[in-house]
A = this chain, B = another copy of it.
Amino acid sequence: MKAADYVASSPLPDEDRTPSPVGAAAHVVIVGAGFGGLACAKALGGGPHRVTVIDRRNYHLFVPLLYQVATAALSPADIAAPIRRVLARYRNVDTVLGEVLGVDRVVRRVRLKDGGHLPYDVLILATGSMYNYFGQDAWAEFAPGVKTIDNARAIRARLLRAFEAAEIEADPERRRRLLTTVVIGGGPTGVEMAGAVAELARFTLAKDFHRIDSKTARVILIEAAPKLLTAFPETLSQYALEALGKLGVEVRLNTKVENIEAGVVVAGGERIEAEAIVWGAGIRAAAGADWLGIAPDRLGRIAVASDLSAPGQDRVYVLGDLARLEQDGEVLPALAQVASQQGLHLGHALKRLDAAALKAGPLTLAPFRYASRGDTAVIGRSSAVFVIGRWSLKRGLAWVLWGLIHIYLLIGFDRRLSVAMQWMWRYLTTEGGARLID
């Protein structure tokens, strides 16, 4: 991280370090280049304001497909687009690779890890979320979530290495343990993960091992609630349960995880030995509330007003998983499409205002309203669920829809093409993709 040294003293060339003088363009700072932050930056693109997007990573990660990296179907690069390239065509939008440590609200500037500062007229926090181990943070080491590329690589390596070890393992007990995977959480992530691992074992790896029958690999999906995919209609939850059953996944409903150690999950009183354990049982907001001195809810979220402004703050807005917003008596879910719609809404609202307004002080923007474009989760080969409004769909057609939607949403056309082709290829051949242990 040598390069970091060189930004320590000066996060941006001088003209940007001094608060923008009256008359000059206003400066909007967006922290986080996830779905929300990126949508907001694009909406502000080509507008009158100067925009700076800060992220710890140089890429926007398409998290909904991360489980396919974890199960050796896609490469990290397939689902990661360089933020800088995505925003390249907007001359008024700058990208900064850096980590935010805090916010100096009085002087209105963001504090960076490298010691630098970044002044803002308007601040937008879109830091997203991370996995929630409900106070049992020690579990994270033994049961990684699927939130970062490193997570996904670690899971992929562990899954593949388990099969390699099983192939040369003489002791049947040990072999059984090596070939057992536990997935915790029956939401979309857990269902997709469990289905993908089962298919990896049943199809992709089946031909490649001579001593073990990879089809004997066990996948156990643990969910505390009485059903899977609680956000979906009953019929679809039921279908998901059956579809996973057909893939050989053992689904344990109404089962609470009591403890996790290295290679061991204790759930519903049972002790399950498994080489790979994957966590998908819930998330909490990333850093943000603390920066603003706001008391978050129990999931670390900031309760925002209908215009996405942070309570008691002047020109500070919060987006996506970090924001807690009720609509029609229900809290909006932590979904990519919620974040994008919020980013779009906020971006457009700010773009309409002039520099003076953004610098003057308190703003009131139009209230945000979420309109669901539909929810979908994939279980496996030609098997998925899709719901929009009162209309719900399952099996092959839902699966095709899921594929088309995700291809469409993938940022970066070359990758879109490459992913589409890889999926097609795997669908026809059941061959695997990026099976690297690293």
Contacts and interface: CB of A to CB of B under 8 A. Distances in A.
Contact of A84 (B174, B177, B208): B208
A13 to B, nearest CB: 5
Contacts of A98: 168
Contacts of A77: 75, 433-436
Interface in A176-196: 177-178
B11 A168 contact: yes
Contacts of A431: 85, 414
Contacts of A307: none
Contact of A165 (B3, B80, B160, B178): B3
Contact of A91 (B75, B82, B210, B421): B210
A164 B57 CA distance: 11
A219 to B, nearest CB: 17
B165 A6 contact: yes
A335 interface: no
Given A3-B178, A436-B80, A437-B59, A210 B165 contact: no
B57 A437 contact: yes
Q: How large is the interface on A (under 10, 10 to 19, 20 to 34, 35 or more residues)?
A: 35 or more
Q: Give the copy number.
A: 2
Interface in A405-432: 414, 417-418, 421-422, 425-426, 429, 431-432
A211 interface: yes
A58 B435 contact: yes
Contacts of A177: 6
A230 B46 CA distance: 52
A270 interface: no
Contact of A13 (B161, B164, B168, B432): B168
Interface in A218-242: none
Given A13-B211, A88-B207, A164 B3 contact: yes
A168 B436 contact: no
A13 B91 contact: no
A23 to B, nearest CB: 22
B76 A161 contact: no
A169 interface: yes
A324 B69 CA distance: 41
Contacts of A160: 58
Given A7-B168, A10-B168, A436 B208 contact: no
Given A58-B161, A82-B435, A85-B435, 19 more contacts: A3-B161, A3-B162, A3-B275, A7-B169, A9-B170, A10-B170, A13-B170, A14-B170, A59-B435, A75-B78, A76-B438, A77-B434, A85-B431, A85-B432, A88-B207, A96-B168, A97-B165, A414-B426, A414-B431
Q: Which 9 A-B pairs have the closest CB atoms?
A: A77-B434, A3-B165, A10-B170, A97-B164, A75-B75, A75-B77, A82-B435, A3-B161, A84-B208
16 contacts: A7-B168, A7-B169, A9-B170, A58-B160, A58-B164, A75-B75, A77-B434, A84-B208, A85-B207, A94-B210, A94-B211, A150-B438, A414-B422, A414-B433, A417-B425, A418-B422
